[in-house]
Amino acid sequence: MGELLALASAVCFGTTHFLSALLSRRADATAVALYAQLGGSVLILAAVPLVAAPHVTAAALAWGALSGIGTGLGVTFLYRGVSGGRLSVVVPLSDVGALMLPVMVGVLLLGERPSLLSWAGIAAAGPAMWLVSRSCDDDDRLSGGSVDGLIAGAGFALQFIALARIDSAAGLWPLVVSRFASVVAIVPLAVGVHAPLRMRPRLLLGAVGTGALGTAGVVLYTWATWQQLLAIAVVLAALYPVIPVVLGLTVLRERVTRTQVVGLVLAAASIAGIALA
């Protein structure tokens, strides 16, 4: 069950990033990130009564706040990098960071011990995401988007690690704190770059919708960590770059390169290895 929840979260994350990338090319990337998180905040507030919360602790809320800071940093720098057309740099760097750092924390600090087959799946996931995210049409120079990608990866890693530390007895309240903390994290970044926050109604509605979908992914991922090792859940959730590639192929009629095909095969092998373990 945990594996399916993590994969479902990957679908939500991937679809969110695909739609947000399109929006970020028609509106300011920081504004898209901000309104997306506001939309997610509304959704999670509406969902709170649906999940029992018998024991809400300060520690759980603190982990929620920390995850929100990671989310805010991650989405802002990812969308900023993508808005400049540097997908081949920003997305691979952000995803490898979001994948490897939580795995290291799970194994080295939390004492998790994945099976040998799971390790094979984990080992395949990193190269798979790098290859899937590469495009022969993009500039291979790292200078243009490396900083955005590295910061985004660190932010998403913080999000994944902190969410996994939330006690299920706290229900969704830590995620409420997480969503509002992400907004608080984005606001100074928006002010610092003098981001134009006014958006056309259709774009604004789209940003809010993507934020709601992203929040659904956060809920599914957190639920997965309650049933699965962090090292396993984060690897499956971090397979989200596969989704934009598939959507680009089916919706935008983009061509898939041989490199991306190899990446997709490795991603499938990674999922199979972890699921069969």
pTM of the model: 0.85
Phi-psi region of 15 (alpha: psi -120 to 50; beta: other; left: phi over 0): alpha
Amino acid at 142: L
Please give the residue range of the domain that contains residue 129.
Answer: 2-276
Count other C-beta atoms under 10 Å from residue 139's C-beta: 13
Tokens of 24: 């970020």
DSSP-based three-state secondary structure for 115: coil
> Which residue blocks in the chain are alpha helix, DSSP H?
2-24, 29-47, 58-83, 87-104, 116-133, 146-164, 173-192, 201-225, 230-237, 242-250, 258-276
Who's near 107: CB < 8 A, 6+ residues apart? 113, 114, 231
Nearest partner of 92 among 122, 127, 62, judged by Cα: 127
Output the DSSP codes for 80-95: HHHHTT-HHHHHHHHH
Q: Which of 147, 163, 13, 156 is CA-nearest to residue 86?
A: 147
Q: Can you give the pLDDT of all 277 residues of the chain as single tens digits?
A: 888 999 999 999 989 988 988 898 889 888 999 999 999 999 999 999 999 999 999 999 999 999 999 999 998 888 888 776 556 567 777 887 888 889 889 988 888 888 888 888 888 887 887 787 665 555 444 445 678 888 999 999 999 999 999 999 999 999 999 999 999 999 998 888 788 888 999 999 999 999 999 999 999 999 999 998 888 898 889 888 788 778 877 887 767 778 878 888 888 888 888 766 6
Q: Which pLDDT does position 83 carry in this prediction?
A: 72
Terminal C-alpha separation, the chain = 13
Q: What is the pLDDT of residue 136?
A: 52
Residues making up the chain, counted from first to last: 277
* pLDDT score, position 145: 66
Q: What is each CA distance from 127 to 140, 142, 153, 211, in whole angstroms? A: 17, 17, 15, 28
Total domains in the fold of the chain: 1
